[in-house]
Chains A and B, each alone.
Chain A
């Protein structure tokens, strides 16, 4: 079976699309981000998200976020049935705008952190976590 160059390109393109589409189709994530930022533009610098590259157990994935000077940080799991994870609001006595917790991940996916910085702008950071056993039961 011979493929011409054109056919090969078309096939690879189609295959790539099938992988990319499920993530793009997740409108709930975009909605959650828009709710948090109020539609403002989101920059890249200013928030750091620490998560393991490979998590064996999706039921407890340790993560930590820090964003110096931020007033709030929202964490989203793009591939979970409900993408919201937690929102940290820092008060005047918070010594550093950082926190750690443990979260559930349904499968291999991107974890996103969005920080609201002191000047009202927003920063975003994301990290892909590979999950061996999903954390949603069933």
Chain B
């Protein structure tokens, strides 16, 4: 459905153990709210990303449930603790069943 979906994530390359780092994520997605109408007056069906999760080595950092009121190209900024070197896994769940992934590794 949604074409040209491209996740972008900004994670520092390295951190000291136990440090809190800021993570910024952006994913290009139209986030069609279901409220708009096309030129002939028919409502455009809803098509959004409804859930975003971030995990570090399998442990949850944040889990966000989204509603249609989130803007086009959903952007999130949050902080995570880094206990050891490893990988951040980012997952976005689309209404149409698609799942978009991204991983970023961090050194300690």
B77 CB to closest chain A CB (Å) equals 4
One digit per residue, 1 when the CB lies within 8 angstroms of any chain B CB and 0 when it does not, for chain A 82-97 equals: 1111111111111110
B73 CB to closest chain A CB (Å) equals 8
Chain B interface, >50% SS class? strand
Determine the distance from Cα of A136 to Cα of B74 in the docked complex, in whole angstroms.
16
Chain B hits for A77, CB < 8 A: 69
Chain A interface, >50% SS class? strand
Chain A hits for B104, CB < 8 A: none
- Residue A52 at the B interface, CB < 8 A? no
A86–B64 touching, CB < 8 Å: yes
One digit per residue, 1 when the CB lies within 8 angstroms of any chain A CB and 0 when it does not, for chain B 65-90 equals: 11111111011111111010000000
Contact of B71 among A89, A94, A103 (CB under 8 A): A103
Chain B hits for A136, CB < 8 A: 33, 35-36
A49 CB to closest chain B CB (Å) equals 15
Chain A hits for B55, CB < 8 A: 91
- Residue A13 at the B interface, CB < 8 A? no
Determine the distance from Cα of A90 to Cα of B56 in the docked complex, in whole angstroms.
13
Q: Which residue of B lies closest to A75 (CB)?
A: B69
Chain B hits for A135, CB < 8 A: 71
Interface residues of B (CB under 8 A from A): 20-21, 33, 35-37, 55-56, 59-72, 74-81, 83
Interface residues of A (CB under 8 A from B): 59-61, 64, 77, 80-96, 98-105, 135-138
Given A85-B69, A88-B78; 20 other pairs, CB 8 A cutoff? A59-B71, A60-B72, A83-B69, A86-B64, A86-B65, A87-B64, A90-B62, A91-B63, A93-B56, A94-B78, A96-B20, A99-B64, A99-B78, A100-B77, A101-B70, A102-B75, A104-B69, A105-B69, A137-B35, A137-B36
